Amino acid sequence: MCVEGDGCELESCGRSDFVHTLSGSMSPGLKSNSDLNQCKSSVSGQKFRASLLRCRSPAAAAGILSFGNVLNYMDRYTVAGVLLDIQKHFTVTDSEAGLLQTVFICSFMVAAPIFGYLGDRFNRKIILSCGIFFWSAVTLSSSFITKEYYWLFVLSRGLVGIGESSYSSISPTILGDMFTNNTRTMVLSVFYFAIPLGSGLGYILGSSAKHAAGDWHWALRVSPVLGMTAGTLILFCVPEPKRGSADQLGGNLKARTTWACDMKALAKNRSYVFSSLASAAVSFATGAFGMWIPQYLYRAQVVQKTVMPCTEEPCSIKDSLIFGAITCVTGFLGVLIGAASTRLCRQKTDRADPLVCAVSMLGSAIFICFIFVAAKKSIVGAYICIFIGETLLFLNWAITADILMYVVIPTRRATAVALQSFTSHILGDAGSPYLIGLISDALQKSYAHSALWQFLSLGYALMLCPFVIILGGMFFLATALFFLDDRDKAEKQLNQLTISSSSVKV
């Protein structure tokens, strides 16, 4: 039997309300969204388990998953918060330092499709917990690597990327199965606010821990403890909802298509493809900025003679702290404004989601260009431009996830999130930190000891970002052209899958 528009064969399935576990056994799924708030009877008198089940409300689950997302990004950008110290400690160039983020993202994006496949077929919260425990252990271990083994430190960041990819690929799909419509938009906004919040806290945590301990290695020893706490909460307090349980017809959805069919259908989904390319443009800019903007502003102040060059560890933490605080605030404002403006614009047009993203991207490019003009004379002016530019850039994170939920059916959403993550990283922040560092090194080669040229060369390299952001805005405009057709097609496919599943015999 086929699904209309996809030409996809249905895998064997039944009417049972069960989900696969990692061991291949079956465990009960949730009967409906309302049942998430109810207590389940304990098995064989297990009162402790029953008390934990009482905490499994959608709101609590959303809070726990958002907390885990904060930690994911906090760990990712802790290294950027102490990058100058890492360069001094291991004696590495800009391009070698940028390699840390590139290796992290490369492993992240390679692992994402694998976790997407697993997330559509097995118990998602177990995968999430294992991923968090893994990256927490690796991060903690990497803080003890000595200066002779920089290659091992780079390798550890690659292993952390594998652990974090499991979380980013799967957790949004759990929220998508608990909420719908404007409520889902609001919940996803909170979840994706964790990206700038966690990123900003990463700078703040790294700088503060280094300053308190007098050693940058301690910056890598705080987030692992919090990560293991989040992993435990997910394992015991987050439910495993049935895929599609929050959708109008998803509660009866048992049929599933093959992985090859899922990939083929996603490749034909024009809204999904263009929004994924737009996400890649966002990732390119945020990856490059997250790694290099504190360094750029520090070099600007050296040129302006307001700070002295760092000759020994620990280096100044001021720029990382300020940039981290700005990222937190702009992330909150961006996600909040994005959700509010989308809800308002939906009253005027059904294409509101991609159009809001397109306008915010194009506006962000303008203010990011002003950063490089202002930094030559005024650090305060540069920070103002960063504030406005980041706010506009962060508008689209939650909206992009919501677009995916509208145009992709529930049984392939984890695969879609993972593939989108892979695409956005391989075309975005997998290469942007290293590319910016490489361009900077090439430009300053002839004047390696000139503080002015070190500042200018990094600025010229970073000017690639606004052009990529403009390209992302164009991709969002292309998404708007096909959004309504792809949304209607997804609804028809969901109907077809539901009817097909009810006709399959056990």
Average pLDDT value for the chain: 77
Judged against a pLDDT cut of 50, whether residue 419 lies above it is answered with yes
pLDDT tier, 15 (very low <50, low <70, confident <90, very high otherwise)? very low
One-letter-per-residue 3-state SS of 273-327: HHHHHHHHHHHHHHHHHHHHHHHHHHHHHHHCCCCCCCCCCCCCCHHHHHHHHHH
Phi, psi for residue 255 in degrees, rounded to 5:
-75, 150
Identity of the amino acid at 404: L
**Contact between 328 and 200 (Cβ < 8 Å):** yes
SS3 25: coil
CA separation, residue 495 to residues 144, 182, 184, 337 (Å):
54, 21, 20, 34
For 89-117, the pLDDT digits (tens) are: 887 777 777 778 778 878 887 787 787 77
Judged against a pLDDT cut of 50, whether residue 33 lies above it is answered with no
The answer to which of 9-23, 199-213, 310-324, 409-423 has the lowest mean pLDDT is 9-23
Q: What percent of the chain shows pLDDT beyond 70?
A: 80
**Contact between 353 and 402 (Cβ < 8 Å):** yes
CB neighbour burial string for 386-409, b if at least 16 within 10 angstroms, e if fewer: bbbbbbbbbbbbbbbbbbbbbbbb
For 219-274, the pLDDT digits (tens) are: 888 888 888 888 888 877 777 766 655 555 444 555 556 778 888 888 889 999 99
Query: In the structure encoding, which two tokens stand for residue 441, read together?
Result: 């090194």
Q: Quote the pLDDT of residue 22.
A: 39
DSSP string over 403-428: HHHHHS-GGGHHHHHHHHHHHHHHTT
Identity of the amino acid at 66: S
The β-bridge partners of 28 are 18
pTM to 2 decimal places:
0.66
Phi, psi for residue 28 in degrees, rounded to 5:
-65, 135
For 143-156, the pLDDT digits (tens) are: 888 888 888 888 88
CB neighbour burial string for 417-445, b if at least 16 within 10 angstroms, e if fewer: bbbbbbbbbbbbbbbbbbbbbbbbbebbe
Q: Return d(Cα 52, Cα 40) in angstroms, integer.
A: 10
One-letter-per-residue 3-state SS of 189-242: HHHHHHHHHHHHHHHHHHHHHHHHHCCHHHHHCCHHHHHHHHHHHHHHHCCCCC
Please tell me the number of Cα atoms within 13 Å of 265 on its side-chain side.
26
Is the bond preceding residue 314 a cis peptide, omega within 30 degrees?
yes
Q: What's the average model confidence in pLDDT over 166-175?
A: 76
For 40-94, the pLDDT digits (tens) are: 444 444 565 555 555 567 777 788 888 888 888 888 778 877 777 887 788 777 7
Query: In the structure encoding, which two tokens stand for residue 315, read together?
Result: 């280096």
**Contact between 278 and 271 (Cβ < 8 Å):** no
For 304-339, the pLDDT digits (tens) are: 877 776 665 556 667 777 887 888 888 888 878 888
CB neighbour burial string for 94-103, b if at least 16 within 10 angstroms, e if fewer: bbbbbbbbbb
Query: In the structure encoding, which two tokens stand for residue 62, read together?
Result: 């959303």
